[in-house]
Every structure is written in structure tokens, then in C-alpha cells.
């Protein structure tokens, strides 16, 4: 029987393997801890740079000044009108993109002639910068919320529709053929095979659509708006009220992060349904 003791070098070599092989309870929280620590570190560095006035406070406010700006913002009753306006614009625009984009993408993936007919239009409008269409939407729909809804819709529609179509097209043709050989109808195949296999692609498209929707919101409100968080940000930057401008910008970004994280968590539930998992 081998009674030779392990050398310190051999212990060092095996320690990483054991650490990886036996994840502790903190492993589940590792992304949150590391990500949160990185954010806190960046805020601390930002505060130090602002305190040392490496960059003029006129252009880069300190995080503490942004916190004070939030306090002032939410003491002004008009902020609730801005939040309500931007929230409704995103809700209507993004909701329409989901309601219209998902069925259209699925139909384009399922029926080849429809895909051939609509592909040129999808390619054309997807390649057209939405910022170039914003003035046209304002002319057609006015300065109210519906021009912003249209821009948000155009931003979110294409990733949702294209991903839904890609999900249908990624289905295994042998599996579909086998289902048909056993007498399954199209409705049964769609409900039991196509839809479950497409859900991960659909959620990915929705996650991408969130970012495009928020970009469309800011672009539309920067060009023509009476109220909204994007309008508040533009007005603040115009008068060099940088703290309030940064506060509005961070509010939009945090909203996108929260929505993205929520969709990612939902998306993980369907990871096993992805191809080649």
C-alpha cells in the first residue's frame, strides 16, 4: 500500500480542482457579489475622481451630487408626469411589438411563401435607422405619445420577430417528419414541438427588444416631446444641470437592466429546450 505523503506542490495542484469540484454555498451568489462589488468599486473611483476634480464638475458630477439630484427630482410633482409618460410610451410600443412581432415571426418561420413575401420588407425596415424615421413619425402622428410609441415599436419589433422566425426555422426537420408520419396534425405539431422549441428564441428576442425599446424612447423624446424622462435629461443637459441629467440617464439605464435581468431569469427556465443543450 502506498503511504507516501503528498508534497506541498501536489497539494497546491489539487486544491483548485477540489475548489471547483466542490462549489460552496456562496457559488450561487458569486455573479451578484462580483458584479455588485465591481459596481461599488466603480462608484467609489468615480467619487474620488470627482472629489479630486480631475474632470470639471461642470461636466462630471459626483455620485453624491446625483443622489441629491434624485431627492430634488422626486420632490417635484412633475417627475411623476414624466415617469407616467415614458412608462406608457414603452408599455404601448413594446407591447405592440410583442403582440404583432411574435405571431408574424412564427408565421414567417412556419410558412415559407409568407417568409419569401415579407423578407424584403423586414430587411429594408430593419436596415433603416430608426432615428431617421423619428421626424417622420412626429410629422405623421404629432408631438404626443403616439409618435414615440411608433418609434419604440419599430425598435423592438424586429428583434422579436426575427428571433421568433429563427426559432421556428431551427426546429429539427427529422422530428417534424416523424411527428407527421405518426399522423400528427399541424396544430398538434405546433403546440407540442414548435412552440416549446421556439420559446427560448422568443425570450431572447424579447430581451433584445427591451434595449431597442429604451433606445427608441430616448431618441424620440430627444427630438420632440413635452414630457418624459428623455425630455427631462435633454432639458437638464441643455442648461448644464449635469447632476439631474445623469440622474435621468441612470434611471433609464437601471430600468433596462432590471427588465433584462427579469427576462434572463425567465429565459434560464427554458435553457434545456435550446438546441444542442
User: Do 134 and 258 sit in the same domain of this protein?
Assistant: yes
Are the beta carbons of 221 and 171 closer than 8 angstroms? no
User: Do 193 and 212 sit in the same domain of this protein?
Assistant: yes
In angstroms, rounded to a whole number, what is the distance separating the alpha carbons of residues 266 and 91?
19
- pLDDT band for position 71 (cuts 50, 70, 90): very high
Total number of domains constituting the chain:
2
The DSSP H or E segment spanning 141 is helix 130-141
Q: 96 or 111: whose pLDDT is higher?
A: 96
Q: Distance between the two ends of the chain, CA-based, in angstroms?
A: 43
Least confident of 52-61, 111-120, 156-165, 191-200: 191-200
Look at residue 250 in the predicted model and tell me its pLDDT.
94
User: Do 153 and 77 sit in the same domain of this protein?
Assistant: yes
Nearest of 147, 160, 55, 49 to residue 103 by alpha carbon: 160
Look at residue 207 and tell me if it is in a domain. yes
Q: What is the mean pLDDT of residues 29-55?
A: 87
pLDDT at 13 over 50: no
Are the beta carbons of 267 and 200 closer than 8 angstroms? yes
For residue 161, give its domain range: 65-273
Look at residue 12 and tell me if it is in a domain. yes
Give the pLDDT confidence of 206-227 residue by residue, as tens digits: 999 999 999 999 999 988 888 9
Whether the model clears a pTM of 0.85, i.e. scores above it, the answer is no
CATH of the domain at 230: 1.10.3720.10
Q: What is the mean pLDDT of residues 233-239?
A: 91
Q: 218 or 185: whose pLDDT is higher?
A: 218
Look at residue 198 and tell me if it is in a domain. yes
Amino acid at each position: 500500500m502506498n503511504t507516501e505523503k503528498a508534497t506541498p506542490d501536489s497539494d497546491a495542484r489539487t486544491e483548485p480542482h477540489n475548489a471547483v469540484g466542490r462549489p460552496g454555498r456562496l457559488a450561487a451568489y458569486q455573479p451578484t457579489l462580483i458584479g455588485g462589488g465591481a459596481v461599488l468599486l466603480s462608484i467609489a473611483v468615480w467619487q474620488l475622481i470627482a472629489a479630486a476634480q480631475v474632470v470639471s464638475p461642470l461636466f462630471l458630477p459626483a455620485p453624491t451630487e446625483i443622489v441629491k439630484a434624485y431627492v430634488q427630482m422626486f420632490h417635484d410633482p412633475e417627475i411623476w408626469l414624466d415617469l407616467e409618460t415614458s412608462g406608457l410610451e414603452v408599455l404601448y410600443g413594446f407591447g405592440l411589438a410583442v403582440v404583432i412581432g411574435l405571431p408574424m415571426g412564427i408565421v414567417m418561420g412556419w410558412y415559407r411563401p409568407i417568409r419569401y413575401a415579407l423578407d424584403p420588407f423586414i430587411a429594408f425596415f430593419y436596415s433603416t435607422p430608426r432615428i431617421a424615421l423619428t421626424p417622420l413619425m412626429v410629422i405623421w402622428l404629432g408631438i404626443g405619445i403616439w409618435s414615440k410609441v411608433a418609434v419604440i415599436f419599430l425598435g423592438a419589433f424586429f428583434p422579436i420577430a426575427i428571433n421568433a422566425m429563427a426559432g421556428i426555422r431551427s426546429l429539427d426537420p427529422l422530428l417534424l417528419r416523424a411527428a407527421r408520419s405518426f399522423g400528427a396534425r399541424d396544430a398538434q405539431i405546433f403546440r407540442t414541438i414548435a412552440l416549446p422549441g421556439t420559446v427560448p428564441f422568443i425570450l431572447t428576442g424579447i430581451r433584445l427588444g427591451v434595449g431597442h425599446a429604451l433606445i427608441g424612447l430616448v431618441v424620440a423624446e430627444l427630438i420632440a416631446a413635452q414630457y418624459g424622462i428623455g425630455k427631462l435629461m435633454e432639458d437638464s443637459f441643455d442648461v448644464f444641470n449635469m447632476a439631474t441629467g445623469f440622474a435621468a440617464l441612470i434611471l433609464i439605464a437601471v430600468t433596462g437592466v432590471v427588465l433584462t435581468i427579469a427576462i434572463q431569469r425567465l429565459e434560464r427556465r427554458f435553457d434545456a429546450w435550446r438546441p444542442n443543450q
